Structure 1
């Protein structure tokens, strides 16, 4: 760390009190006086004409020194002295990454095996998703959950611990039984509109077919493209017609194509991790760094000295006046 003065030009104000002393007239004070009964006769005899007058108080040398030192301390505080450390860098948020996850009843299927234990699709997705979220260090992450309807589980934030905690609180069926992909995309567009970051990326994760009646998925994707939102779609489970719960891969591919993203499919933990690794390559974590210097302000010390000198001046002035009265 090194010492520096932020406003060096303040030193040119140092002679300002002397300049004011020379240019401005002295302050004159009036005081009561005793007039003798023979004052008028004495004035006539002496030939002098009486007139009103005032006196200028004289400042003692100690008072002048205190005031001048006080002025120096005030200028020292105004110049903003500081200790400045070595330049450092900090990461700025450069992208908004929104995860829209399907939590309809089909995600409760226990057809995934992880670490030798069978679990539901949603439990497996949450487990793998946490590792993916940890790597989005410079991003704002948000969570949108959808089923029959979509809702905001976590607003866009850089607090990854909160994101993981809110992810743990989410369970299948909290948004209804059906799968409304179009409504999920439309709702996510509204979330992005509250954000000022230009680079907007969305991961749409589902294992079903759109059952929404109000907003079609491709219409919502067209609206997302107009707002410069890139959507990556991730299908969980088997495709339509291959048994189990249906997965409309064609619609998911079309959504990704319209917005400039890509479609992925995952049937197990290994494939899911490969998808997230691929996303990291296609949407790498970009760091925008800005330099800053750690600063410790020191203006309070000369300011405190100025206050102390002002009190000292007042004390000395009171003592001098006391002696004058008794003299």
Structure 2
């Protein structure tokens, strides 16, 4: 199969509708057999020598040549575009991995804190989360990925889909406050589990990110973790922020990394601690290793259309023809 594809890719680029090229001599046939055009103007023509002296002989000659050639270039380029030039390319196709991944992300008010350093500059937690999570999702080709966000309550911001670019754009558009400003960790995890309960994928994963303590919701996080373990869903947790309860902080804004770690361990997942942007990048790489995306993807021959180039040339030549026609 690979040898066949290689031979196809070595072939000359083809056309989708080559019959359109047979129309190339049509203007000549119309000039030869069509009715002769009547004189368009009765104005007295100046002698050629006078015209050349007034406008410059070289400029006049170039304008006449351009006015003659430009319509032909426009016509032939238009036919070339209509013929549909295209070429074969060796394109990778990621097969379905058989894995559903739900991101459950905290959008509480504390995510607005500007206490992260990302690529050498101060940044808000939510901004770093958007960038790193979107990059992570774009690398999940073959996975079915969805997004749940939570604050006072939880909702599905992007339904599970193989269109990872659409989910990445949903991540980049996350806004603080749309789900309330509290932290209902259990509700966010519970909603992600309910969506995965409908899935028939052999592998189901939740990536739960929070920077606070569970302060809302009707279910305790530990109960949601037990449900995940019963369903066979791995939950990887990310405890975000410079202060953490497990590190001895009594600050009310410290992340409850202990509870998040318990959730991860109860479901067979991994717990991560993120204090700044560099930690976030390391977690991104670690998750890729724990939940690898398909890399040994088959390659197929796919057509790439080239018609926009001759179409653009035809448009430019037509505009030039009109301009020169008015000038002369």
Q: Which residue, 188, 191, 194 being the options, matches 1:190? A: 194
The runs of 5 or more residues in structure 1 that have no matched partner are: 2-87, 295-327
1:131-170 to structure 2, matched below 5 A, reads 131-170=135-174
Asked if structure 2 preserves the Cα contact closer than 8 Å seen for 1:94 and 1:288, the reply is: no
- In structure 2, the gaps of 5 or more residues are 5-91, 303-328
Change (3 A) 1:252 1:293: same
Shift of 1:135: 1.5
TM-score by length of 1: 0.59
From 91, 94, 98, give the equivalent of 2:95: 91
Tell whether the 8 Å contact from 1:94 to 1:287 is kept in structure 2 after alignment.
no
Report matched runs for 1:92-107 at 5 Å: 92-107=96-111
Distance 1:161 1:173 in 2: 24
Counterparts in 2 of 1:90 and 1:163: CA distance versus 1, 3 Å: closer
Equivalents in 2 of 1:179, 1:156: separation in Å? 23
> Which residue does the alignment assign to 1:279?
287
**1:131-153: CA deviation from partner (whole Å, max 9, x where unpaired):** 21122111111000001100000
Q: Who is 1:58 aligned against?
A: none
CA shift, 1:282, in A, is 1.6
Whether 2:264 is the aligned partner of 1:256: answer yes
Deviation at 1:281, TM superposition (A): 1.4
Residues 144 and 151 in structure 1, CA contact (< 8 A), matched pair in contact too: yes
Q: Indicate conservation of the 8 Å contact 2:155/2:179, yes or no.
A: yes
Structure 2 CA distance for aligned equivalents of residues 89 and 160 of structure 1? 14
Is the contact between residue 94 and residue 294 of structure 2 (CA under 8 Å) also seen in structure 1? Answer: no
Change beyond 3 A, Cα 1:244–1:212: closer
- 4+ residue runs over 4 A deviation: 287-294
1:132–1:292 CA distance, 2 compared to 1 (3 A): closer
1:121 aligns with 2:129: no
Distance 1:126 1:292 in 2: 33
Q: What TM-score, normalized by structure 2, do the two folds share? A: 0.59
For 1:117 and 1:255, the matched residues in 2 are separated by 32
Matching of residues 150-299 of structure 1 within 5 Å: 150-237=154-241, 238-240=243-245, 241-242=248-249, 243=251, 245-286=253-294
Distance in structure 1 (CA, Å) of the matches to 2:285 and 2:301: 36
- The answer to whether the Cα contact below 8 Å between 1:138 and 1:287 also exists between their aligned partners in 2 is no
